[in-house]
Amino acid sequence: MQHKTMIMKYFEVVFDSFYLIVGYVVFVIQLYFAQTLSGFIAFFMTLILIFGDSFHLIPRIHMLISGKKPLYALGFGKLVTSVTMTIFYVLFWFWGLVLFKLPFLQAGTYIIVCLAVIRIILCLLPQNRWFEKSGSFKFGVIRNIPFVLLGFLVMLMFLLNRAYIPSLCFIWIAVLLSFVFYVPVVLFSRKSPKWGMLMLPKTLMYMWIIVMFLKGPQ
């Protein structure tokens, strides 16, 4: 059992490291080729996603290798990632508006911005207990409600416009699956840590998304 645990730890170290490397490589490629507004938005989306995830994943990689749990670094990393992921989906929405040449969706954009502001405020509240060994389950659920709604609206936009840019026709599936894998972790991982393994396929979905960014107009 201990041998299997060690294998899983090092697998996660390799997996998380690979994800960050892929993200920064895509970021550099986008920086080189970006020439249009949509290309620059996609560039900033990748930057925010990978930079934010680095705050969480690097301390986690250190923890898995050293066996020491840096509570403050992990908590701060989760907080930063929660905020940057929110900004990522706001940019995702505006990227879609530019890509699909949609008229300014005033109501939808207001909803997106309001959900993002609510989510960020909820993430910043001390009741989350980010820096404690066991954070607040209640606030973990509450702060993710606007986040899931945010992801749903973005997913819906790309679903309804999937035929407009054939190379991006599957991006809505990646967004949908990322939340399908993420929500059970939020709801059940405290009772059974094995649910946390769903973060691996969730991360794969984000890797798929940023690779698909390269297929969009640059």
pLDDT, position 184: 92
pLDDT, position 39: 86
Rounded CA-CA distance 53/51 in Å is: 6
Express each pLDDT in 188-206 by its tens digit: 888 888 888 889 999 999 9
Ordered DSSP codes for 74-114: HHHHHHHHHHHHHHHHHHHHHHHHHHTT----HHHHHHHHH
Q: Which of 21-25, 31-35, 181-185 is the least confident region?
A: 31-35
pLDDT, position 135: 77
Q: Domain holding 131: CATH number? A: 1.20.1070
Q: Is 68 inside any structural domain?
A: yes
pLDDT, position 4: 52
Range(s) of the domain holding residue 209 = 2-213
pLDDT, position 3: 54
Q: Is 218 inside any structural domain?
A: no
The domain tally of the chain equals: 1
From 171, 175, 181, select the one nearest 149 (Cα to Cα).
175
Element (H, E) at 55: helix 37-66
Q: Is 148 inside any structural domain?
A: yes
Tell me the mean pLDDT in the region 15-29.
90
Choice between 65 and 180, residue whose per-residue pLDDT is larger: 180
Share of the chain above pLDDT 70, in %: 95
Q: Is 187 inside any structural domain?
A: yes
Rounded CA-CA distance 42/210 in Å is: 8
Q: Is 14 inside any structural domain?
A: yes
Express each pLDDT in 95-129 by its tens digit: 999 998 877 667 788 999 999 999 999 999 999 98
Asked whether residue 87 carries a pLDDT value surpassing 80, the answer given is yes
pLDDT, position 33: 82
